[in-house]
Amino acid sequence: MGTQQGKRSPEPRSNDLPTAVVTPPWVKQAVFYQIFPDRFAKSESLDKPHNLEPWDSDPTPFGYKGGDLVGVRERLDYLQDLGVTALYFNPIFQSACNHRYHTHDYYKVDPLLGGDEAFDALLAECRRRGMRIVLDGVFNHASRGFFPFNDVLENGPASPWLDWFTFYEHPANAYDHGQPPGYQAWVGLHALPKLNTDNPQVREYLMRVGEYWLRKGIDGWRLDVPSEIHSEGFWQEFRQRAKAINPEAYIVGEIWGDSRQWLQGDQFDGVMNYLFAEAAIAFSAGHRVRRETVEDRAYAPWPGIDGRAYAAKINHILRLYPWPIQLTQLNLLDSHDTSRFLTIAGDDRASVRLGTLLLFTFPGAPSIYYGDEIGLTGALPPDHWARKTFPWDHPERWDLDALASHKELIALRQSHPALQTGDYTSLYADPDVYAFARTLEGSTMIVAVNVAEAGRRFEIPLTGALPAQPAAATLLFTTDGSPTAELVAGALMLTLPARCGLVLNASPVSHDRVTT
d(CA 261, CA 371): 33
- Quote the CATH superfamily of domain 29-140+197-415: Glycosidases (3.20.20.80)
CA distance 61 to 294: 19
- Assess whether the previous peptide bond of 54 is cis (omega < 30° from 0): no
Smallest CA-to-CA distance from 48 within 36, 61, 38 is with 38
Supply angle C-alpha 334, 309, 276, rounded to 5. Answer: 25
Q: Residue 361: its pLDDT value, please? A: 98
Catalytic residue among 38, 110, 219, 254: 254
The pLDDT, as a whole number, for residue 14 is 38
**For residues 431 and 500, is the Cβ–Cβ distance under 8 A?**
no
pLDDT at 29: 98
Give the helix/strand (H/E) hosting 261: none
- In angstroms, rounded to a whole number, what is the distance separating the alpha carbons of residues 56 and 65? 9
Cα Rg of the chain, angstroms: 24
Residues 481, 497 contacting (CB under 8 angstroms)? yes
Residue 468's pLDDT is what?
85
Task: Answer yes or no: 169 catalytic.
Answer: no
Q: What is the DSSP-derived secondary structure letter of residue 185?
A: B
**Four-way CATH pick for 420-515: 1.10.3720.10, 3.40.50.1000, 3.40.50.12590, 2.60.40.1180:** 2.60.40.1180
**CA distances (Å), origin 183, targets 62, 144, 193, 227, 421:** 23, 11, 7, 20, 47
Query: Cβ distance 269 to 238 under 8 Å?
Result: no
pLDDT for position 9: 34
The single residue of 219, 224, 306, 423 carrying the catalytic annotation is 224
Task: Determine the pLDDT at residue 509.
Answer: 56
pLDDT tens digit at each of 516 positions of the chain? 222 233 333 333 333 444 589 999 999 999 999 999 999 999 999 999 999 999 999 999 999 999 999 999 999 999 999 999 999 999 999 999 999 999 999 999 999 999 999 999 999 999 999 999 999 999 999 999 999 999 999 999 999 999 999 999 999 999 999 999 999 999 999 999 999 999 999 999 999 999 999 999 999 999 999 999 999 999 999 999 999 999 999 999 999 999 999 999 999 999 999 999 999 999 999 999 999 999 999 999 999 999 999 999 999 999 999 999 999 999 999 999 999 999 999 999 999 999 999 999 999 999 999 999 999 999 997 778 999 999 999 999 999 999 999 999 999 999 999 999 999 999 999 999 999 999 999 899 999 999 999 999 999 999 889 988 887 899 999 999 899 999 988 899 999 999 999 999 997 754 433 444
Give the whole-angstrom CA distance, residue 137 versus residue 210: 8
165 Cβ neighbours under 8 A, 6+ residues apart: 148, 149, 152, 183, 184, 193, 194, 195, 196
pLDDT in tens, 113-152: 999 999 999 999 999 999 999 999 999 999 999 999 999 9
Burial status of residue 468 (CB atoms within 10 A of its CB: 0-12, 13-18, 19 or more): middle
Q: Which residues make Cβ contacts (< 8 Å) with residue 178, sequence separation at least 6?
A: none
Question: Of 332, 341, 331, nearest to 379 (Cα)?
Answer: 341
Ramachandran category for residue 74: left, alpha or beta (phi over 0 → left; psi -120 to 50 → alpha): alpha
Coil, strand or helix at 372? helix
Pairing status of strand 86-89 against strand 132-137: parallel
Cα distances (Å, whole numbers) of residue 494 to 37, 290, 346, 486:
44, 31, 29, 6
Q: State residue 10's pLDDT score.
A: 36
pLDDT at 399: 98
Whats the size of the chain, residue-wise?
A: 516
pLDDT, tens digit (0-9, with 9 covering 90-100), for 52-64:
999 999 999 999 9
Active site residue 224: yes
Q: 200: helix, coil or strand?
A: helix
Domain spans in the chain, listed from the N-terminal domain onward: 29-140+197-415, 420-515
